[in-house]
Structure 1
Amino acid sequence: MNNSFFTSIGLGNIDFGIVALVLAAVILILLILTIVNMCSISKLKKKYNKFMQGKNAKSLESEIIGLFDDNKFIKNAVEKNKKDIKILYHKFESTFQKIGIIKYDAFNQMGGKLSFCLALLDENNNGFILNSVHSTEGCYSYTKSIEKGECKISLGEEELKALNMAMGITQ
């Protein structure tokens, strides 16, 4: 079937049925796109309504100002916490953190390893060594001061082992 309109625009050889099918396909695609668009608009409206629920422009402004105030408070709290952590770190720098203990028999007659050397050091390897010697006559305790991992008085074998253990030096 030739249509004079198609002939006048130079498309006289095209079948009207094909044109109708193409137009129907285009209409179907447009209908699908419209439905998809409506669904996305509906979701957006729901989100908007949830966001604006019970609020007007003034209350929304106060909400935003409140959030900024909360943000400032949190920033100040974080800065205070950083300062407090530095103070605590400085305080803990001088506390005993490293421990080394060696049990030994001071005299072979005793048995049971009742004597011991205890080294207590801070972060800078300052502290003391406590040497407790048990014998049949009693128990005697001695201390030696440690500065920067060294003692001004000569150390016995067990004392040196306890000091090295506290400083993390393996032998």
Structure 2
Amino acid sequence: MNNSFFASLGLGNIDIGIILIVLAAIILLLIILNIVNICSIRKLKKRYEIFMQGKNVKSLENEIIGLFEDNKFIKNSIEKNKKDIQTLYKKFESSFQKIGIIKYDAFREIGGKLSFSLALLDENNNGFILNSVHSTDACYSYTKEITNGQCNISLGKEEEEALNMAMGSEK
């Protein structure tokens, strides 16, 4: 069965049965692709319905705006916390952080180690040494200023031990 239409296309020698089989295969392939697309659309629709469950576009928009506001609040809180931490660090930098105390007998005849040298230093090794000497008739207390771990006045043995203990390098 020769058709002039197929002949004009240059397919005059091909059997129409083969053309019909090829067309049937193409139609079958298109049907399969259509079924796959329908299944994909159903999955997407289910996901969309779960995502939008109980919400309309306005409420979803409000949710997103709320999340952005929360994020902004958190960022502001973090910045405030950073500033507060820096302020606290500056305050604690000058507070006494290092302590050294040595108890001793100032006079051999008095027992009990009632005398002491107390070194109080900040982060930069600035502070003072409080020395208290107990005798049988009185108690004498005096201080010596410490700057950068050094004293302008000569230190006694116990005072130096207390200072070294406070600085973490007891000898």
Please indicate, yes or no, whether the TM-score normalized by the shorter chain is above 0.5: yes
Alignment of 1:67-106 (within 5 A): 67-106=67-106
- Residue in structure 2 matched with residue 157 of structure 1 by the alignment: 157
- Residue in structure 1 matched with residue 113 of structure 2 by the alignment: 113
49-58 or 161-170, which deviates more? 49-58
The alpha-carbon deviation at position 48 of structure 1 amounts to 5.1
Structure-2-length-normalised TM-score? 0.72
> After TM superposition, where is structure 1 displaced by more than 2 Å over at least 4 residues in a row?
47-53
Deviations 1:33-84 (A, max 9, x none): x9xx99xx59x94x65554231011211110111011101100110010011
Deviations 1:79-124 (A, max 9, x none): 0100110011011111101000000000111111000000000111
Question: What residue ranges of structure 2 are gaps of 5+ in the alignment?
Answer: 1-35
CA distance in 1, matches of 2:139, 2:50: 79
Alignment of 1:18-167 (within 5 A): 41=43, 45=46, 49-167=49-167
Counterparts in 2 of 1:133 and 1:55: CA distance versus 1, 3 Å: same
CA distance in 2, matches of 1:137, 1:149: 33
CA distance in 2, matches of 1:159, 1:140: 15
Q: Percent identity?
A: 73
CA distance in 2, matches of 1:50, 1:135: 86
Name the SS of the counterpart of 1:99 in structure 2: strand
Structure-1-length-normalised TM-score? 0.72
The letter for the 1-side match of 2:156 is G
Name the SS of the counterpart of 1:124 in structure 2: coil
CA distance in 2, matches of 1:108, 1:130: 21
CA distance in 2, matches of 1:152, 1:93: 23
The letter for the 1-side match of 2:76 is N
CA distance in 1, matches of 2:52, 2:131: 74
User: What's the C-alpha RMSD, in Å, of the aligned pairs?
Assistant: 2.3
The letter for the 2-side match of 1:60 is L
CA distance in 2, matches of 1:120, 1:101: 9
CA distance in 2, matches of 1:155, 1:148: 15
CA distance in 1, matches of 2:50, 2:98: 58
Structure showing greater radius of gyration is 2
